[in-house]
Chain A
Amino acid sequence: MPSPKLTALKTSLRAGGVSPAYISRLLAELDDHYADLEREERATGREPVVAAVEALRRLGQQDAIAAEVLAKPELRSWPERWPWIVSLLRPVLLLLLLPALPVLACAGRGPAIARWSVSISLAALLTGGLLLAMARSMLAVI
């Protein structure tokens, strides 16, 4: 028999702020436990379907397991356990990120930025040269 889909448990744990890594570990161990229970039940001569139902019953209610996990703060993800750290770190990270954004936007666009820089510099030189020439001819007239 395939192992049970512990969807309700997974949903409750996700909603409760339990880290995905921990959820995967718990489900893997429950899956393994279920396989052992099913084997034990089948060894007593039960039909596979009956053995699967009995194994699932012995494994326990999914909401009871979820409640047990959620009652232990140490099993929750760190932003759930220390929300004040998140609210403290968020503005600091944003302040660090804002000046870095233009640098990050330019990263990997080196050749295009170089072309634009050369074009703008040449245009500035040309405009500057023209303005200088105009200023000198105006001064000469005066």
Chain B
Amino acid sequence: MSGVPELLVLRLLARKTMYGYELVKAVRVMTGEAIALGEGVIYPALHGLEKNGALKATRRPVNGRTRVYYRVTAKGQRRLDRLTAEWDRVSSGVRAALVAPQGAIDGLSES
């Protein structure tokens, strides 16, 4: 599961600029609640990505408060493309292993 929260965060923020609470909610809804991130833990992840230049934070006043909105930068988009390709490779590998017929596994010891 390593890298999955980062992949989700980048994917969702590439679609829409969001603030932390909105983003956690989006992850929950978009994954059908299969992935529920620790809500407070999202901030170190966002700040780490921001420090690495993958995200850009903007402060906006909303109802007398200042909210921090995040969006994906060009560097973040490249990172997202790389993580997506990696995820596709791993998930298709796991899927292939799960549906492999018994004969394919038996054949391994014979060769």
Contacts from A to B (Cβ < 8 Å): 22, 25-26, 28-30, 32-33, 35-37, 58-62, 64-65, 68-69, 71-72, 74-75
Contacts and interface: CB of A to CB of B under 8 A. Distances in A.
A37 B21 CA distance: 8
B51 A74 contact: yes
Contacts of A59: 39-40
Determine the main DSSP class of A at the interface with B.
Answer: helix
Contacts of A28: 66
Nearest to B42: A33
A72 B21 contact: no
Given A58-B39, A65-B40, A68-B41, A29 B48 contact: no
A65 B20 CA distance: 14
Which size bracket describes the interface of B in this complex? 10 to 19
Contacts of B44: 26, 65, 68-69, 71-72, 75
B67 interface: yes
Nearest to A6: B40
B41 A26 contact: no
B74 to A, nearest CB: 19
26 contacts: A26-B43, A26-B47, A28-B66, A29-B20, A29-B68, A30-B40, A32-B20, A32-B21, A33-B43, A59-B39, A59-B40, A60-B39, A60-B40, A60-B41, A62-B40, A64-B41, A68-B44, A69-B47, A71-B44, A72-B44, A72-B48, A74-B51, A74-B52, A75-B44, A75-B48, A75-B51
Interface string B2-39: 00000000000000000111001000000000000011
Nearest to B41: A68
A75 B47 contact: yes
Contacts of A71: 44
B45 interface: yes
B58 to A, nearest CB: 13
A75 B68 CA distance: 17
- Shortest beta-carbon contacts, A-B, top 8: A60-B40, A60-B38, A68-B44, A36-B21, A74-B51, A72-B48, A69-B44, A65-B40
A54 to B, nearest CB: 12
B65 interface: yes
Given A65-B40, A74-B48, 15 more contacts: A22-B47, A25-B47, A25-B68, A33-B20, A35-B65, A37-B21, A60-B39, A60-B40, A62-B40, A64-B41, A65-B38, A68-B41, A72-B47, A72-B51, A75-B51
